[in-house]
Amino acid sequence: MRLAHFLKPQRLPRMVDLGSCLITRDCGRGRLLCQHLPLDPISVSFKQVSSMPATMEDILNKSVPPLPPYETKEKSPPPPEPQSLHFMHYYRSLEKGQRVALLGQLAADYGVDHTQVAELSNKLTQAQQKRDLGTVMQVEDRLRYYLTPQYKVLFSHISRMDGGLKFLVDLRSDIVEGVTSKVADAPHLREMNGILKSMLSEWFSIGFLNLERITWQSPCEVLQKISEYEAVHPVRNWTDMKRRVGPYRRCFTFTHSSMPGEPLIVLHVGLMQNILGNIQAIVKEVPSSEAEDGNKIKSAIFYSISLTQQGLQGVELGNYLIKRVVKELQGEFSQISEFSSLSPIPGFTKWLFGVFNTQMKELGRTELFLDSECKEITDITGAPAIETLKRLFTSNEWMKSESLVKVLEAPLMRLCAWYLYGEKHRGFALNPVANFHLQNGAVMWRLNWMADTSPRGAAASCGMMVNYRYFLENTSVNSARYLQMKHIEASEQVLNLVSQFKKNSKL
């Protein structure tokens, strides 16, 4: 599961664009259907406005409305709609690098009026010194208002237009990419990122979201998007997709009324007799023709969760989706008693290589493996253990050797347990998937050997996966302890592996 970045699966060949006519494959019958698509409302509306300015300065000057004076803030009319349409159309016409440049200029030139804020701050200090509570509160209210960036007025107006919310989600995706890649590592742009994230958090709060179950009868366009957005276990073909929404499986999404037909976040669930520790048993082995028997369902396993809109990074959706799905499943299957994830461990192999390299550089050897383990590896491969491992772990070839699989289980399991439990970022779990589930109140319950032997699973985590168990009566307490005290609730198996690491490995 994710909340790290994964490659998208290859697009399923299904549609041919013929101008405003789209030929699609009927998912249920294999026929081709022809339907006329509605034109983009923004493009249509833009045709009704005058020609747009030629430069970024012009477009910003004409598009960004001024912050209304404090005294008339409740009575000021909204800016003319063509202004925002100009901005949206111009922005979409730019290349990615040009978009980041425009956003940087927007953030720097149309942000907070720092002169006004400084004057109000001085007035506030003076009022506090005079202990004039009425004046203090009046100045504080003015100060709050003038801390509003000018571009926020533009964003607010765009959000109320047809297609505007989706536009802002995509715009923030460009901001996030620009900031994280340091293409435009400017404080103004980082501030804009935080402000737009806060605005999106309000617009996409739980009260505005709709829970939808995806089935084989769902629209083909939605099924296509679900397959493309799958970020954890790529969908190979339509048979694979049919299996994932068929018997003993559930697929749920959150949608928003202002973004119809756009899944925001997708959760795949396997309905089992017990908690599994192998992903192939979930994504491959259940025949799609088998009728569902509710008596066989005792466990719900969340095996994939994918955020589909990168512009919603940091907006809390996954936690709410899991809670809503738990209630949905409890209503459908009252006998379900176990809720768990089966999660990937992105970053483990990269971390392991980093530790290898550091120890070899500083010590000329590694202290992650026991001498006896290194000898066994050398005896099997005929080469020094560390050189062999670094070469082997770049592929999944080693998984074909029963002797290597056997000798590597103990050291890699204890190393991975430490990576999940002991490696921290600002006191929280370094691994993003672990951090996500622990924040939700789950328990780090079971580490599974040879759980994902696909090339992706081998490359990311040497084939290991982990179950995060949701004990519903304890999730609130666990979440609070993790967020407030950075305490990780873990099972005896995980703690034993961590203890073995501390005893046998030196970092």
User: Per-residue pLDDT for 490 more than 70?
Assistant: yes
Confidence grade of residue 32 (pLDDT, cut at 50, 70, 90): very low
Residue by residue, DSSP assigns 134-173 as HHHHHHHHHHHHHTS-HHHHHHHHHHTSTTHHHHHHHHHH
Cα atoms in the 13 Å half-sphere on the side-chain side of 341: 29
CB 164 within 8 A of CB 170: no
Q: What is the pLDDT of residue 27?
A: 45
Q: What is the pLDDT of residue 130?
A: 87
CB 476 within 8 A of CB 489: no
Most confident range (mean pLDDT) of 33-37, 58-62, 491-495 is 491-495
Residue by residue, DSSP assigns 288-333 as TTSPP-GGG--EEEEEEEEE--GGGTTSS-HHHHHHHHHHHHHHH-
Two tokens, residue 251? 């697929």
**Which structural domains are found in the chain, ordered by start?**
54-112+148-203 (1.20.140.90), 210-341 (3.40.630.150), 348-504 (3.40.630.150)
CB 491 within 8 A of CB 468: no
The 3-class SS string of 416-483 reads HHHHHHCCEECCEECCHHHHHHHHCCCEEEEEECCCCCCHHHHHHHCCCEEEEEECCCCHHHHHHHHH
Confidence grade of residue 292 (pLDDT, cut at 50, 70, 90): confident
- Read off the pLDDT of each residue in 482-501 and give the average, rounded to a whole number: 97
Distance CA 141, CA 418 (A): 49
Confidence grade of residue 289 (pLDDT, cut at 50, 70, 90): low
Cα dist. 403→186, 376, 407, 462 in Å? 53, 9, 6, 15
**265-272, strands of its sheet edge to edge:** 209-213, 249-256, 265-272, 299-307, 338-341, 465-470, 443-448
Q: What tens digit of pLDDT does each residue of 149-164 get?
A: 999 999 999 999 999 9
H or E element in which residue 267 lies:
strand 265-272
Known catalytic residues are: 343, 437
User: Per-residue pLDDT for 370 more than 50?
Assistant: yes
- Of the chain, the end-to-end C-alpha distance in Å amounts to 28
Confidence grade of residue 39 (pLDDT, cut at 50, 70, 90): very low
Give me the residue label for tokens 């501030």. Answer: 191
H or E element in which residue 70 lies:
none
Cα 371 to its chain centre, rounded Å, is: 40
- Read off the pLDDT of each residue in 27-54 and give the average, rounded to a whole number: 42
Collapsing DSSP states into helix, strand and coil, what is residue 218? Answer: coil
- Read off the pLDDT of each residue in 325-334 and give the average, rounded to a whole number: 96
Distance CA 158, CA 63 (A): 11
Q: What tens digit of pLDDT does each residue of 379-429 get?
A: 998 888 877 877 888 778 899 999 999 999 999 999 999 999 999 999 999
Contacts of 46 (CB under 8 A, 6+ apart): 85, 86, 88, 89
Collapsing DSSP states into helix, strand and coil, what is residue 381? Answer: helix
Separate counts of helices (H) and strands (E) for the chain: 21, 12
Q: What is the pLDDT of residue 167?
A: 97
- Read off the pLDDT of each residue in 191-199 and give the average, rounded to a whole number: 96
Q: What is the pLDDT of residue 413?
A: 97
Residue by residue, DSSP assigns 72-105 as GTTTPPPPPHHHHHHHHHHHHTS-HHHHHHHHHH
Q: What is the pLDDT of residue 51?
A: 45
Q: What tens digit of pLDDT does each residue of 117-137 get?
A: 999 999 999 989 888 899 999
Give φ, ψ of 77 to 5 degrees. -70, 155
- Write down how long the chain is: 507
Distance CA 17, CA 19 (A): 6
Per the prediction, the chain carries an average pLDDT of 86
Confidence grade of residue 476 (pLDDT, cut at 50, 70, 90): very high
Q: What tens digit of pLDDT does each residue of 60-90 get?
A: 998 999 888 888 888 888 888 888 998 999 9
Collapsing DSSP states into helix, strand and coil, what is residue 50? Answer: coil
For residue 494, give the nearest of 409, 433, 415 by alpha carbon: 415
User: Per-residue pLDDT for 257 more than 80?
Assistant: yes
CB 503 within 8 A of CB 368: no
Q: What is the pLDDT of residue 182?
A: 66
CB 301 within 8 A of CB 282: yes
